């Protein structure tokens, strides 16, 4: 039996993924302990988003495994036979790895509160009244108390993304997956979204974020993971990753942000 005290929340082993002839993940290993914040950085096309999406099986991996609290995400095994999980099982598991998307992905026909309530009622079994109260609490936490009943189209990009974060964190997931959540925002709106993430990071929430915000990664991450050509090349504390650079590829990558 794994030791609950040391078992990682997320354990990825030898993960592979191809799109047709293109192998995007070439054997990725990554372990994340409870409360850790992991920033994934790396060149465009190196597989960052695919890796993140494999964690909650939005992208189906080909080989290797992803475990959340010891439970494999995409497949189950009975009597030595491996089978892909049903959509119903997957929906259940995905609640534990809530994702925030670059393009917000709010339901445009639902209010801010309703966007948050939906998953709470459907996947967490909350009553509508409970869900509403949780939605109000989280909208307050992200500074949007005045926008509870606003439609996404009435909100700025930064406000929409704060609703997206509130929606994910309201599910109390075991890990929060943040996929380039500020990339679609006008520069003046980036700060308000990063401010929310910064607060969540200090609360001991487990997070994996794909980001191009190097200063932010340096500030909030416990570990920075550098991916290149489908592999993790470096997995180290920010002080090492952003310090003296013995790795040629990392140095070349970081030079673009200098």
Is position 46 an interface residue for ligand ADP (rule: CB under 6 A)?
yes
Is position 27 an interface residue for ligand ADP (rule: CB under 6 A)?
no
Among the residue ranges 42-50, 69-77, 135-143, 218-226, the one whose residues contact ligand ADP (CB under 6 A)? 42-50
Residues 6+ apart with CB under 8 A from 215: none
Among the residue ranges 47-55, 60-68, 104-112, 231-239, the one whose residues contact ligand ADP (CB under 6 A)? 47-55
Residue with smaller CB distance to ligand ADP, 142 or 209: 209
Q: Out of 44, 79, 80, 125, name the contact with ligand ADP by CB under 6 A.
A: 44
Site for ligand ADP in 141-180 (CB under 6 A): none
Among the residue ranges 5-13, 38-46, 86-94, 249-257, the one whose residues contact ligand ADP (CB under 6 A)? 38-46
Residues 6+ apart with CB under 8 A from 230: 23, 24, 25, 26, 28, 46, 47
Bridge partner residues of 67 (DSSP): 11, 72
Residue with smaller CB distance to ligand ADP, 46 or 161: 46
Q: Out of 19, 83, 146, 248, name the contact with ligand ADP by CB under 6 A.
A: 19
Among the residue ranges 41-49, 77-85, 104-112, 247-255, the one whose residues contact ligand ADP (CB under 6 A)? 41-49
Provide the mask over 49-88, with x wherever binding to ligand ADP is found by CB under 6 A and - wherever it is not. xx--------------------------------------
Q: Name residue, tokens 């090492």.
A: 240
C-alpha to C-alpha distance for 211 and 21, rounded to whole angstroms: 27
C-alpha to C-alpha distance for 212 and 43, rounded to whole angstroms: 9
Is position 45 an interface residue for ligand ADP (rule: CB under 6 A)?
yes
Is position 48 an interface residue for ligand ADP (rule: CB under 6 A)?
yes
What the block records as the tokens of 237 is 């504390």
Neighbours of 90 (CB within 10 A): 17
Q: Kindly report the CA angle at 155 between 153 and 156, in degrees rounded to 5?
A: 115
Residue with smaller CB distance to ligand ADP, 25 or 193: 25
Is position 182 an interface residue for ligand ADP (rule: CB under 6 A)?
no
Residues that bind ligand ADP (CB under 6 A): 19, 24, 42, 44-50
């Amino acid at each position: 039996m794994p030791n609950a005290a040391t078992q990682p929340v997320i354990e990825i082993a030898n993960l592979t993924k191809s799109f047709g002839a293109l192998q995007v993940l070439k054997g990725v290993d990554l372990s994340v302990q409870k409360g850790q914040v992991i920033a994934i950085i790396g060149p465009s096309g190196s597989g960052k988003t695919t890796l993140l999406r494999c964690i909650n099986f939005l992208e189906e991996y080909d080989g290797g495994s992803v475990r959340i609290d010891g439970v494999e995400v995409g497949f189950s095994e009975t009597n030595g036979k491996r089978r892909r999980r049903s959509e119903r099982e997957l929906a259940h598991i995905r609640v534990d790895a809530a994702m925030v998307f670059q393009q917000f992905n709010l339901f445009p026909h639902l209010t801010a509160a309703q966007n948050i309530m939906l998953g709470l009622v459907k996947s967490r079994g909350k009553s509508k009244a409970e869900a509403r109260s949780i939605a109000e609490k989280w909208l307050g936490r992200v500074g949007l108390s005045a926008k509870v009943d606003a439609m996404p189209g009435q909100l700025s990009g930064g406000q929409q993304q704060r609703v997206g974060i509130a929606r994910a964190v309201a599910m109390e997931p075991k890990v929060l997956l943040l996929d380039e959540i500020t990339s679609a925002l006008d520069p003046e709106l980036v700060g308000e979204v990063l401010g929310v993430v910064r607060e969540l990071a200090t609360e001991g929430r487990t997070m994996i974020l794909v980001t191009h915000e190097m200063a932010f990664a340096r500030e909030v991450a416990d570990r920075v993971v550098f991916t290149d050509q489908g592999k993790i090349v470096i997995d180290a504390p920010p002080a090492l990753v952003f310090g003296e650079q013995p790795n040629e590829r990392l140095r070349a990558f970081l030079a673009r942000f200098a």
